[in-house]
Structure 1
Amino acid sequence: MLRRLTIRDFVIVDRLELDFAAGFGALTGETGAGKSILLDALGLALGGRAEAGVVRAGQERADIIAEFDLPQQGGLAAWLADEALEAEEGAVILRRVVDAGGRSRAWINGTAVTLAQLRAAGEWLADIHGQHAHHALLRAEAQRELLDACAGARAIATEVARCHREWQALANLRREAEADSANSARERELLAWQSKELEELAFDGSEWDELNAEHSRLAHAAGLMEGADETLAALGEGDYAVCAILRHLDGRVAELADIDPGLADVRELLSAAAIQADEALHALRRYRERLDLDPQRLAEVERRISTVMDTARKYRVVPEALPELMSQWRERLATLEARSDPARLEQAEAEAYGRFGAAAASLSALRRPAAEALSREITEAMQTLAMAGGRFDVALEPSQPSAHGAEIVEFRVAANPGQALRSLAKVASGGELSRIGLAIQVMTSRDSATPTLIFDEVDVGIGGRVAEIVGKLLARLGRERQVLCVTHLPQVAACADWQWRIAKVERGGQTLSEVTPLSSEERIEEIARMLGGVNITATTRDHAAEMLGQR
């Protein structure tokens, strides 16, 4: 569960440190007080999109830290270990900093991470349902993904999509081969001839630098020999050879240093110079012994360079690119040769289709019972959400094979008794969609392994008895998970295990958001405010106390 949320300079929040409890918690307050801002900050810590506008006016950066208990279930602990982000003392700490320019940085357990890593960790820790989430249910893609999540079929759905891409690629390859067999034969012949030419050239990209270095050395051999001989004479020959002089001076200063230790540093420098001069002399002698005029080898190198240059010009590339060009030709030739065998292409296509069919059948086998269970549960929930006699159905219609499997997923609803089931996108009114969407979110969240569930004003468009039922649904969910809900409805807030009031305050000439945990008596006042508005009467307070006592 979420233990603590620390927010610094985020929108209208200056500094907040919030400690969260288990169960169902309600966040209430006037419109615009900053209730959703808290959830936006948490969403940022979970890897949400960052914008420069989230930084409080006049500040350099916004800083959000969210501390969670490490879930015992799921794969987060193993994932953290694999990423070298192990949790300490059973806690997972996510941090996000956004500067005034919109750039952001992220950390997990004190280690800098990418946004993708932060988002991956966040998916194990919390699930946020926005106030307009039910509108997403009108999209076929969202309906299919929700069913696959309920069925535990996300992995096999990904495999189905991969198998479909593989099958289609091979089918396209076969069709192209059939339509262009003559051109393919000509291209194969040309590529084979060109590849053979480069193979015979046997040119390695690293050879080019070596050839040019050797050519430079051979072309300037006379000058190199003359310079080496001159340097050898200066270093090691005659009475005034540098090495001999340095050795003599080293010995002389050594004698002086025995008298005056203050010359020890000078003696050390001279000794090092003498040693280095001797090493240079020996190295130069070895170099000079290998150096010789070799007109024949020079001619060979020049011919090789000329051949490589001619070939590179022929194919309009730099010499270093010839090996890569040959690799591309071989790859293309292999593709064309594969196309030239229709029987093999058909077999490969059939095998790929078989793999796709098997994966799609496995996906269908997971979807069917999940669709039946979800249909039954949402239908039952509709009976208590002012849609008595209504029905909900997750239809699986057979379709042509696609990247999404062998069927189309469609949510259908009959909001009233006697009505035929029709597409959710076509028949649900705004209020009905809101209630059905909330039921779906609550039901599907119950099956999720995510320990913290967050609902941001998902109760918009409902009220009265339905609102009370929604509150009880969330309270029941709160017995299994940590549930946080931003709400304007007193019926929902009264069902919470604990409640915070969010309000705007003026401080230092600035408008800021303030969070106050409410006691039992303060909850009565807040529920009364939500019921009665500006003028709160004794009757309103009694009603609020009664609502809280009914939990």
Structure 2
Amino acid sequence: MLRALEIRDMLIIDRLELAFQPGLNVLTGETGAGKSILLDSLGFVLGWRGRAELVRAGAAQGEVVAVFDLSPDHAARLVLREAGLPEGDELILRRVNTPDGRKTAWVNDRRASGEVLRALSDTLVELHGQQDDKGLLDPRVHRALLDEFGGLAPMLEEVRVAWRAASQAGKAVSQAEQRLADMRAEEDFLRHSVAELDKLDPQPGEEAELDARRRLMQGAERTREDVARALTALGLEGAEGAMGDAMRWIDGVVDRMDGKLDGAVSALERAMVELGEAVQGVEDTLAALSFDPRELEETEERLFAIRAAARKHQMAPDGLSDLARTLSDRLAALDAGDAGLAALRKEASAAQAAYDAAATKLTEARHHHATSLDTAVSAELAPLKMERAVFSTMITPGPAGPEGRDTVAFTVATNPGAPSGPLNKIASGGELSRFLLALKVCLSQHQTGITMIFDEIDRGVGGATADAVGRRLAALADDGQVLVVTHSPQVAALGAHHWRVEKQVQDGMTTSTVTPLAPTDRVDELARMLAGDTITQEARAAARALLKA
């Protein structure tokens, strides 16, 4: 509920402090007195997009503060939590505007964006009038209004989930089909390359090993001659034989030398061991340099085959083994593609069937609740002196989407037998006001904590019809809060709380003021609304009669 509204330096308002109450609050005043400025100011603090220049001439800035009471389960609390803003039983919105157009907002003394203000606004206030900007006249939102009336949110969420599942499954099928088509376009290449690489079976590091082996074999003959000479020089015909002779000669005399040759003998023994290891190493190398000429030919053939495959696939030879695995996997995917695609199509078909079932169920529910809405609106139209009018909720097939497959439009016929059509094209100004009021009463039955504002919704009606409009507004305000800007004395008389908006000129400056009216003041205001500038005793009597009715 809107509890207080404070306005400073906005247009022709110097300073206003308004304390609103539960029930029906009415604002009256002459045309141009500033009633629309109040709504502009409230819209400004709620983040609505409206007039650009709001700051009063000569002021440093304009400021609006709105205070709302929040019930424990009020929807605004969820917006506050999601925005990380303080939450309590009182919600204070404050917004300032400078002459150069800069706007700054606070929510419970914390800086907030216009987006947050608008999100809060959707849970706090609804503005309705002949230029209804909240959707009653917009066919694009009629489906959402019907769903709200019918309490179809759980069913609608089921359709949205099914739509997402069906869309994802369909996308998976399309992607699989494209991948399969791409692979089939290169099927011959895949099969030939996989067979070629499987036969070659290249291994990581093999190319380097083959190259080293080939180089070794190519220079092996000359190298083998040198190594053989070295082996001869080290063997029995060379160093090993000479050292053996030396050992025998020394052994023959060592006993007679009183230990003088012991060191030499030890050194020769160590040298013989080292020389044996050297001879073994040279012999092993010589054995390694022994090869069959056909081995060189085979090594070169494999080396050239690996290098040719690497050039063909434009990669390093060591990458061929990974390429072979990759191509084999792609070929396996191609071979299994039809089976996998069939499985995906089956899943997509099941998801589509689930969506169709959920959408059909939602359509049936919409038709059911459309009938209930039509009946409810018709019941509301009778007290508003439109018992002959016909309100219809038309549901026609529409494109499938996350909210089902239905197009919903509210249509009216003002008289039996007359053609029906859109609300804003068939009804006159006064009829449109009453249609909107009846529709709003029906759509508001599940809403709590919303302050409803009706801006001259009674325009174009008078007498008993205006009285009926007023009584319906009063009934709508029984369990909540309704603010009505009106020129109708019949509507104003039914208000639980009454404010008069006046424009004054003082010291060459025009300002607008809002005054709460006591019972005696209400009589004069209603008399003015009935009689005009000159208030007669007859007008006052009529005003008292309206207040007692």
Asked if these proteins are the same fold (TM beyond 0.5), I'd say yes
**1:181, CA displacement in angstroms?**
5.7
Kept in 2, the 8 Å contact 1:527–1:544? The answer is: yes
One-letter amino acid of the structure 2 residue matched with residue 432 of structure 1: E
Aligned equivalent of 1:457: 456
Change in CA separation of 1:172 and 1:98 when aligned onto 2, cut-off 3 Å:
same
Following the alignment from structure 1 to structure 2, what is the Cα–Cα distance between the partners of residues 484 and 462?
A: 18
**1:522, CA displacement in angstroms?**
0.9
* Matched residue SS, 1:364: helix
Following the alignment from structure 2 to structure 1, what is the Cα–Cα distance between the partners of residues 87 and 383?
A: 43
Aligned equivalent of 1:544: 543
Following the alignment from structure 1 to structure 2, what is the Cα–Cα distance between the partners of residues 402 and 82?
A: 28
Aligned equivalent of 1:499: 498
One-letter amino acid of the structure 2 residue matched with residue 452 of structure 1: T
1:120-154 CA distances to partner (integer Å, 9 max, x unpaired)? 22322222224411895453213212212222335
**Does 2:406 align with 1:402?**
no
Change in CA separation of 1:369 and 1:381 when aligned onto 2, cut-off 3 Å:
same
One-letter amino acid of the structure 2 residue matched with residue 413 of structure 1: V
Kept in 2, the 8 Å contact 1:173–1:339? The answer is: no
One-letter amino acid of the structure 1 residue matched with residue 95 of structure 2: R
One-letter amino acid of the structure 2 residue matched with residue 458 of structure 1: I
Following the alignment from structure 1 to structure 2, what is the Cα–Cα distance between the partners of residues 510 and 414?
A: 49
1:464-523 CA distances to partner (integer Å, 9 max, x unpaired)? 211110100111112111111001111111110111010111134221110011111111
Following the alignment from structure 1 to structure 2, what is the Cα–Cα distance between the partners of residues 8 and 92?
A: 19
Kept in 2, the 8 Å contact 1:385–1:469? The answer is: yes
Kept in 1, the 8 Å contact 2:12–2:56? The answer is: yes
**Does 2:43 align with 1:64?**
no
1:37-116 pair list within 5 angstroms: 37-49=37-49, 52-77=52-77, 79-81=79-81, 83-88=83-88, 90-116=89-115
Divergent runs of 4+, >6 A: 187-190, 336-340
Kept in 2, the 8 Å contact 1:503–1:514? The answer is: yes
Aligned equivalent of 1:525: 524
**1:547, CA displacement in angstroms?**
0.6
1:52-451 pair list within 5 angstroms: 52-77=52-77, 79-81=79-81, 83-88=83-88, 90-133=89-132, 136-154=135-153, 157=156, 160=159, 163-164=162-163, 167-168=166-167, 170-171=169-170, 174=173, 182-183=181-182, 341-361=340-360, 363-364=362-363, 366-399=365-398, 401-419=400-418, 424=423, 427-451=426-450
- The normalised TM-score by structure 1 is 0.66
* Matched residue SS, 2:68: strand
Kept in 2, the 8 Å contact 1:388–1:416? The answer is: no
Larger radius of gyration: 2
One-letter amino acid of the structure 1 residue matched with residue 33 of structure 2: A
* Matched residue SS, 1:54: coil
One-letter amino acid of the structure 2 residue matched with residue 93 of structure 1: I
**1:39, CA displacement in angstroms?**
1.8
Kept in 2, the 8 Å contact 1:52–1:103? The answer is: no
* Matched residue SS, 2:444: helix
Kept in 2, the 8 Å contact 1:413–1:428? The answer is: yes
Following the alignment from structure 1 to structure 2, what is the Cα–Cα distance between the partners of residues 396 and 101?
A: 48
Following the alignment from structure 1 to structure 2, what is the Cα–Cα distance between the partners of residues 187 and 448?
A: 62
Task: Point out the more displaced range, 405-414 or 491-500.
Answer: 405-414
Calculate percent identity across the aligned residue pairs: 40
Aligned equivalent of 1:471: 470
Change in CA separation of 1:48 and 1:179 when aligned onto 2, cut-off 3 Å:
same
Following the alignment from structure 2 to structure 1, what is the Cα–Cα distance between the partners of residues 160 and 470?
A: 39
Task: Point out the more displaced range, 411-420 or 470-479.
Answer: 411-420
Task: Point out the more displaced range, 163-172 or 494-503.
Answer: 163-172
Kept in 2, the 8 Å contact 1:8–1:14? The answer is: yes
Kept in 1, the 8 Å contact 2:70–2:449? The answer is: no
Number of equivalenced pairs: 408
Change in CA separation of 1:427 and 1:17 when aligned onto 2, cut-off 3 Å:
closer
1:211-254 CA distances to partner (integer Å, 9 max, x unpaired)? xxxxxxxxxxxxxxxxxxxxxxxxxxxxxxxxxxxxxxxxxxxx
Following the alignment from structure 1 to structure 2, what is the Cα–Cα distance between the partners of residues 187 and 521?
A: 93
1:39-64 CA distances to partner (integer Å, 9 max, x unpaired)? 22112222212654122222232211
Change in CA separation of 1:81 and 1:408 when aligned onto 2, cut-off 3 Å:
closer
Aligned equivalent of 2:34: 34
Following the alignment from structure 2 to structure 1, what is the Cα–Cα distance between the partners of residues 134 and 67?
A: 31
Following the alignment from structure 2 to structure 1, what is the Cα–Cα distance between the partners of residues 186 and 100?
A: 53
Kept in 2, the 8 Å contact 1:52–1:98? The answer is: no
**1:344, CA displacement in angstroms?**
4.1
One-letter amino acid of the structure 1 residue matched with residue 66 of structure 2: A
Task: Point out the more displaced range, 137-146 or 500-509.
Answer: 137-146
Unpaired runs of at least 5, structure 1: 194-199, 201-313, 315-332
Q: CA RMSD in A?
A: 3.4
One-letter amino acid of the structure 2 residue matched with residue 455 of structure 1: F
Aligned equivalent of 2:2: 2
Following the alignment from structure 1 to structure 2, what is the Cα–Cα distance between the partners of residues 510 and 184?
A: 81
**Does 2:508 align with 1:509?**
yes
* Matched residue SS, 1:37: helix
Change in CA separation of 1:63 and 1:135 when aligned onto 2, cut-off 3 Å:
closer
Following the alignment from structure 1 to structure 2, what is the Cα–Cα distance between the partners of residues 516 and 155?
A: 46
* Matched residue SS, 1:133: coil
Following the alignment from structure 2 to structure 1, what is the Cα–Cα distance between the partners of residues 527 and 169?
A: 67
* Matched residue SS, 2:454: strand
Following the alignment from structure 1 to structure 2, what is the Cα–Cα distance between the partners of residues 393 and 430?
A: 19
Following the alignment from structure 2 to structure 1, what is the Cα–Cα distance between the partners of residues 134 and 532?
A: 30
* Matched residue SS, 1:389: coil
Aligned equivalent of 1:221: none
Aligned equivalent of 1:535: 534
* Matched residue SS, 2:355: helix
1:509-544 CA distances to partner (integer Å, 9 max, x unpaired)? 221110011111111111111111122211111111
Following the alignment from structure 2 to structure 1, what is the Cα–Cα distance between the partners of residues 534 and 104?
A: 47
Kept in 2, the 8 Å contact 1:71–1:451? The answer is: no
Following the alignment from structure 1 to structure 2, what is the Cα–Cα distance between the partners of residues 109 and 132?
A: 32
* Matched residue SS, 2:459: coil
Following the alignment from structure 2 to structure 1, what is the Cα–Cα distance between the partners of residues 22 and 157?
A: 35
Following the alignment from structure 1 to structure 2, what is the Cα–Cα distance between the partners of residues 468 and 416?
A: 22
